[in-house]
Amino acid sequence: MNIIENQRLELSGELSFDTTDVKTASLDFGGMSRVEPLAVLHPGSVNDVMSLVKSAYDSAELTQGFTVSAKGHGHSINGQAQTGNGVVIEMSGSKGNRFSESTKPVLGALSGNGEVKYYVDVWGGELWVDLLKWSLEYGLAPKSWTDYLYLSVGGTLSNAGISGQAFNHGPQISNVYELDVVTGKGELLTCSKEKNSELFHGALGGLGQFGIITRARIALEHAPQKVRWIRVLYSDFTAFTSDQEYLISLHGKPSSEKFDYVEGFVIVDEGLVNNWRSSFFSPRNPVKVSSLTTKEGGVLYCLEITKNYDESTADTVNQEVEALLKKLNFIPSSVFTTDLPYVDFLNRVHKAELKLRSKGLWDVPHPWLNLFVPKSRIADFDKGVFKGILGNKTSGPILIYPMNRDNWDHRSSVVIPDEDTFYLVALLRSALDSADETQSLDHLRNQNQRILEFCDEAGINVKQYLPNYSTQEEWKIHFGDRWNLFLKRKMEFDPKYILATGQHIFQPLF
């Protein structure tokens, strides 16, 4: 019998010791870390979350204290939502009360200055894909997204939540008006920029360290009906990044004068180049991609942009797109275009997921590395990593796109480079048990390590996104001069270090 079994918790959900539940809670998308909790809570309401955390807080002085980790959809890479000596709360699980009346999304509006701003109050464990489907029924949608939607609201808000809309609207954490958070003391606090603001800013990007987000009030906008999705190619890195930077510099302009989404990716792999056409949609002007790779060590760069439109703006979308494309310096005749419903564009990665699942290539280890790279050093990164360390094998997509610092709130917990513009570089690789050693987990992990060492030696001040460190010393370096604020917030909201211990930032006191 452990202490959790002895707790007299009055729950409307279920505290489960079932081996299947425990096993499920011990896994994540990364597939590289496996830690079994003592039990799993399927919460029936916010009161269940409070009761469990309060009980952990009260037991923390005892030798048999226990920890609590919220788990959203378990799409972390390095066991961030796991805990070995405590309880995992399945915030997004279907066994709890996620779809009950008390946790259903609620539409609301704020008015002021002659403007009405719509928002939704949503349960922290809700998946973005479900929130999208719900909001579209009102003709509305959140403004800022991740590329993949089977992630929980609380999980992405604990990191930042970024995609090609971030240059325009900021990350998801910049599009939240209010949160309900159960702190590490088991108290439920409502917080916003005006009320309990330290908790609000702390929880956003806070890696689950200050509390469990049970409700988020998320900004909504009018949802477009359709998307024009365009890809163009570059063999010259400077031309590629200059165009990306130009496009994100338009973020203050009227929507007719800018794109709605700006991303990009690197094509290093010969295999990817050869398969590239088949993995994409019908080109307007067919181009022989392999003939373009002779320059710059065979590396190609693809700019990916979109323009949203409705029936009412369908007539002008061609002109607006043409005017913007004219300003860019991509390889002539490398324009690939398709039109699709907004929901299909946002949910595009799910299509790839289904394909990979059918080939048994989804549930494999994912040694992903996500870095924020300052704009001033992105060309050095290109030379050293894309054209250097990676060789001509990547084992998965490599995303690269810039963002503007000014729509990130510096009071939040997330750490970003100290430059007005910085890039996300996401090496989203899958390890395979194949004869090809360059696809093995060890090889990819060593390569990640070499990339980090290269940045260190070259003085490129990258910051990890979805950071992963195992010692507090490394975390202190990650946070830099923001560490003291992070620690102060921890002492205030989770003084017994009970929450989200899978991040390995603080050790519990027992």
List the catalytic residue out of 14, 130, 263, 304: 263
Q: Output 31 or 283, the one with its CB closest to ligand FAD.
A: 31
21 classed as catalytic: no
Q: Report d(CA 477, CA 463) in Å as an integer.
A: 10
Site string (137-176) toward ligand FAD, x via CB under 6 A: ---------xxx--xx-xxx-xxxxxx-------------
Out of 124, 142, 367, 402, the only residue in the binding site for ligand FAD (CB under 6 A) is 124
10 Å CB burial of residue 36 (0-12, 13-18, 19+) is middle
Does residue 499 contact residue 82 with C-beta atoms inside 8 Å? no
Least distance (Å) between residue 368 CB and ligand FAD = 8
Quick one: DSSP state of residue 393? -
Residue 160 or 227 having the CB closest to ligand FAD: 160
Amino acid found at 75? H
d(CA 451, CA 389) in angstroms, rounded, equals 7
Supply the DSSP string of 119-177, one letter for each residue. EEEEETT-BHHHHHHHHHTTTEEES---S---SBHHHHHTT---STTHHHH--GGGSEE
Applying CB under 6 A, does 215 fall inside the site for ligand FAD?
A: no
The helix or strand, by DSSP H or E, that contains position 245, with its residue range, turns out to be helix 237-249
Residues in binding contact with ligand FAD, number by CB under 6 A: 36
**How many CA atoms does the CB half-sphere of 32 hold within 13 Å?**
19
Q: How far is the CB of 161 from ligand FAD (least distance, A)?
A: 5
Residue 347 within binding range of ligand FAD, rule CB under 6 A: no
Region near ligand FAD per CB under 6 A, out of 76-84, 105-113, 301-309, 390-398? 76-84
Q: Of 212, 272, 273, 416, which lies in the binding site for ligand FAD, with binding defined by CB under 6 A?
A: 212
Report if residue 71 touches ligand FAD, rule: CB under 6 A.
yes
Q: Check residue 80 for interaction with ligand FAD (CB under 6 A).
A: yes
Helices (H), 35-74: 46-59
3-state secondary structure of 64: coil
Q: Is 75 a catalytic residue?
A: yes
Contact 301, 234 (CB under 8 A): yes
Catalytic-labelled residue, pool 42, 73, 75, 366: 75
Select from 59-67, 239-247, 327-335, 500-508 the region that touches ligand FAD (CB under 6 A): 500-508
Choice from 45, 69, 440, 468 touching ligand FAD (CB under 6 A): 69
Among 66, 68, 75, 268, binds ligand FAD (CB under 6 A): 75
Site for ligand FAD in 18-57 (CB under 6 A): 28-29
Q: Which residue has the tokens 């510099």?
A: 249
> In 10 A of CB 217, how many CB atoms?
19
Beta strands 211-222 and 115-123: pairing type?
Answer: antiparallel
Active site residue 263: yes
Q: Which region among 31-39, 72-80, 327-335, 441-449 touches ligand FAD (by CB under 6 A)?
A: 72-80
Pairing of strands 369-374, 67-71: unpaired
From the list 73-81, 104-112, 286-294, 330-338, the region that binds ligand FAD by CB under 6 A is 73-81
Q: Which residue's CB is nearer to ligand FAD, number 128 or number 386?
A: 128
Residues found in the chain:
510
Residues of this chain that interact with ligand FAD (CB under 6 A) are: 28-29, 69-76, 80-81, 91, 124, 146-148, 151-152, 154-156, 158-163, 207-208, 212-213, 466, 500, 502-503
Which residues carry out catalysis? 75, 147, 263
